[in-house]
Structure formats: structure tokens, C-alpha cells
Amino acid sequence: MHHFQYKNNELFCEDVPVRELAEQFGTPCYVYSHATLCHHFMVFDQAFADVPHLTCFSVKSNSNLAILSLFASLGGGVDIVSGGELFRARRAGVPPERIVYSGVGKTREEIDYALREGILMFNIESTQELETINTRAAEMGVSANIALRVNPDVDPKTHPYISTGMKKNKFGIDIESAIKAYERARSLDHIQILGLDCHIGSQLTEVSPFVDALRRLRVLIERLADIGIGIRFLDLGGGLGIVYDQETPPHPHEYALAIKEELTGVPCTLIFEPGRVIVGNAGILLGKVLYTKRTLHKNFVILDAAMNDLVRPSLYGSYHHIQPVIRQEREMEVVDIVGPICESGDFLARDRGLPMMRPGDYLAVMSAGAYGFTMSSNYNTRPRCPEILVKGSEVHVVRRRETWEDLVCLESIPEFLRTAPAAASGSSL
């Protein structure tokens, strides 16, 4: 469910015509619905209301400060994967005791920062990382709370680039080695074992992979208890899918029922790391038609939005529904919807049926709230677009559009290049 709906053939975000946003703030731009964000977070969180739990939003899916602040105000925490995401979370007001730190490549500087902030726990991805965190904690005279991320070797049945829980993936410690790793963690003076962590992938559309992983984790928890290692927090990661096209992902309540049934009698506080399922359908990317181009082999609609704004179609071959902001009775045609980037891979959709577009028309790329802006870039020296948050009839710019000056403000030309004579023309190599 989301709050992007047509009224009299004009697309609205809550009570605001999307066309007005495009005209006021320009395109491309991201637009988020406050009501959708709140609804999705609360539906997920309340599905586990009858068990101890913490919902830690996955910052990598959408790291805007306003959105992080919103979820913190609803009682949520965050799952981070970098020092920069920790900085954002703290700037947004997320309490440190609601922050878990995942990721395979934490640097010493990032570890020190997280230790100073007093986060809930590190999700440890390797034994070398465990040793490094113990060393850093010892030097700082503190104790580091940790969970070990276990790789249960479960096929999540999703795109291979976003599958994380199989033996061939780089994430976590294989389940066969977990007991030895926990015993090593128990022996370290500056490590406090708090939990067990598992994340098998993203955009899952079935409950069964979660259940398969959970059954293996339950056996591991029992084996750890037998040797005197108690698990207080069980972090089950995220990964619940959304509808982009024809998918039929489980509702959070269905997911919750399956999880709670499998965990009967396990005395752990559950941690979840949802991202896409909360923000994916809460945002759209707006673009304007610059040109249309018809050839003997292909028809193209060329937008001012491009792969640098939304890379998922080019990177994953991902589907996003694309629809006109103003619906009109026009002849249909099959087109590739592309951007101005100088790459053949710069497309938002291929072989897509659309009413015949004209220069100046606006298109909405739906389900763009997750892994949209956070994966955007300045490729081709294009300023990143603004992010707009709509709450009822209120409109808030939660990130302004970058300027050309912003693009070069961190760069400098060395003095020797400013004073060097121009190279002679026609010189040979």
C-alpha cells in the first residue's frame, strides 16, 4: 500500500499533485510519502508487538536524515554498514543503544568511532575482524558488544548480487565454524557476546528461506547453550521483498507468524533489519521527457533522469513500473526509456508499453524509495537530484539539488598547473 494515486487522471503524492513538485523543484527528483513511510514501518514493527524485539532500519537502503529521524521517532533503530552511516544515524537522533553495525570491511577508525559512541553491538563477519575489535577495545579500555554473523548456506531465491547467505558469498562465518568462533570470542578479555546474526539476502518473495535459516540458527543457539554461551539477541536481518511488478511477497504479518512459530521457547530479543520493505514503495523518481526518437529498430523516450540517478535497472536488470504523471488518451507504443548518460547501459526500462510521449511530459518511476538515491552518483558530472518529503499537503525539501559548484568544491588545481605554460600544439608523443 502506498499514497501515490491518480485523482482525475493526475498522479498525486498524498494531497500534492506530483506535476506541481516537478514544476517547482525541477527534474529529476525523488519524492517520498510520509504517510507511506509511517504505515510501512508501523505494520512491520507491530507484527512483532507480542515478542521482545527491535526494528533496525537498514540505512543503506535510504540514508536521508529526515527519514532516519522519522523512524527513530517511531521507536526504531538502525542497521549500519559504515562509519558514515553511523554519523548519519547519530546526526538524525538515533540512540546508540538502537544501532547495530554490520559489514565485512570495518576499518579501525570506524571501529573506534562505534566504540566511542557505545552502539548496541557489532555484527562480526570474520575471525580477523573479531581480533581487531578486541584489540581496539583493549586500547580504549572498553568492552565491545558483539554478535557473530553466521552464514547458514540457505538459497534465498533472489538475484545473485543480493544473495548473502550461501557458502559462496563473502558475508559471515560458515555455520560449521561458528562454535569455534564463539569459543574464541568468549576467551577475549574485551569482547562481550550478546547475540547471533544472520542475513540471507534481499528482495525475498517467499517465507521458506527465512524459516530454513532460522531452523539452523535454532540448533546453533542450543549447541551454544550446551557449552555455556548464552544468546540474548537474535538478529534475523532483513530481506523481505516488495512488489515491483508481478511479485507476491509475504505480508509482514505472515512473515512474523512464521518466525514466531519457529522461535517458540527461544528466550531472545529479536532484531530485524528491514529496508526495502519499508521505503521501497514509499518513493518515486520523477523525470521529464527531453526527446523522443524513433528508428527502424527501436523507439526511445529520452528522459532527464538517468542511470546515475537510479542505477538498479542497469546494474541488476531490475524492473520499475513507469507511468505518466498525467494520464491522457494516446496511442500506445513499445519504447526503451533511457537517459542522457553516455553509456549504452543507461536505461530505466526496455521494451515497455507507454502512451506516446511528447517532450515536456513527466514520467514517474515507481518503487524507487530503496536503493535509489543512496546508489546515485555524479557520473558524467551530473548533480545529484533533490529529495522531497510530502506530508499531507506539506512539502519539505529534505535534500536540495546539487549545483555545479558543489561538484567541484572538494577539488583543487595545484599551483604549478596554474602557472605552467600551455603545451605546444602539434607536439609528438
pTM above 0.75? yes
The CATH 2.40.37.10 portion of the chain extends over: 4-29+280-408
Q: What is the mean pLDDT of residues 234-250?
A: 87
CATH topology of domain 4-29+280-408: Lyase, Ornithine Decarboxylase; Chain A, domain 1 (2.40.37)
Q: What is the mean pLDDT of residues 3-16?
A: 98
Closest CA to 300 of 360, 350, 361: 350
CB-based burial label for 385 (10 Å; 0-12, 13-18, 19+): buried
Terminal C-alpha separation, the chain: 62
DSSP code per residue over 39-52? HHHHHHHHTTTTS-
Would you say residue 357 has pLDDT above 50? yes
Task: Please give the pLDDT value at position 285.
Answer: 98
List, in order, residues 6 or more apart from 184 with CB less than 8 Å away. 127, 130
Alpha-carbon distance of 398 to 251, in angstroms, equals: 29
Position 155 confidence tier, pLDDT thresholds 50, 70, 90 = low
Alpha-carbon distance of 365 to 323, in angstroms, equals: 7
Amino acid at 367: S
The single residue listed with the C-alpha cell 570491511 is: 105
DSSP code per residue over 267-326? --EEEE---HHHHGGGEEEEEEEEEEEE-SS-EEEEES--TTT--HHHHH-----EEESB
Query: Could you read off the pLDDT of 157-201 as tens digits, one per residue?
Result: 544 443 443 445 556 788 888 999 999 999 999 999 999 999 887
Task: Please give the pLDDT value at position 8.
Answer: 97
Q: What is the mean pLDDT of residues 345-364?
A: 97
Alpha-carbon distance of 240 to 217, in angstroms, equals: 18
CA-derived radius of gyration, the chain: 24
Task: Please give the pLDDT value at position 71.
Answer: 98
pLDDT above 90 covers what percent of the chain? 79
- Residue 365: strand pairing partners: 285, 322
Task: Please give the pLDDT value at position 165.
Answer: 39
List, in order, residues 6 or more apart from 191 with CB less than 8 Å away. 130, 133, 134, 137, 143, 144, 146, 185
Task: Please give the pLDDT value at position 210.
Answer: 85
Would you say residue 14 has pLDDT above 90? yes
- Between 194 and 419, residue with greater pLDDT: 194
CA distances from 383 to 62, 130, 289, 306, 378 (A): 18, 40, 18, 11, 6
* Residues 155, 167 contacting (CB under 8 angstroms): no
Task: Please give the pLDDT value at position 79.
Answer: 98
Task: Please give the pLDDT value at position 429.
Answer: 45
Architecture category of domain 34-279 in CATH: Alpha-Beta Barrel (3.20)
**Of these residues, 38, 198, 342, 385, which one is catalytic?**
342
Task: Please give the pLDDT value at position 161.
Answer: 42
342 as an active site residue: the answer is: yes
Task: Please give the pLDDT value at position 315.
Answer: 94
Position 359 confidence tier, pLDDT thresholds 50, 70, 90 = very high
The single residue listed with the C-alpha cell 530479543 is: 269
Mean pLDDT of the chain: 92
Neighbours of 413 (CB within 10 A): 8
The CATH 3.20.20.10 portion of the chain extends over: 34-279
Q: What is the mean pLDDT of residues 133-146?
A: 98
Q: What is the mean pLDDT of residues 269-290?
A: 96
Query: Could you read off the pLDDT of 71-118 as tens digits, one per residue?
Result: 999 999 999 999 999 999 999 999 999 999 999 999 999 999 999 999
Position 299 confidence tier, pLDDT thresholds 50, 70, 90 = very high
Alpha-carbon distance of 396 to 244, in angstroms, equals: 26
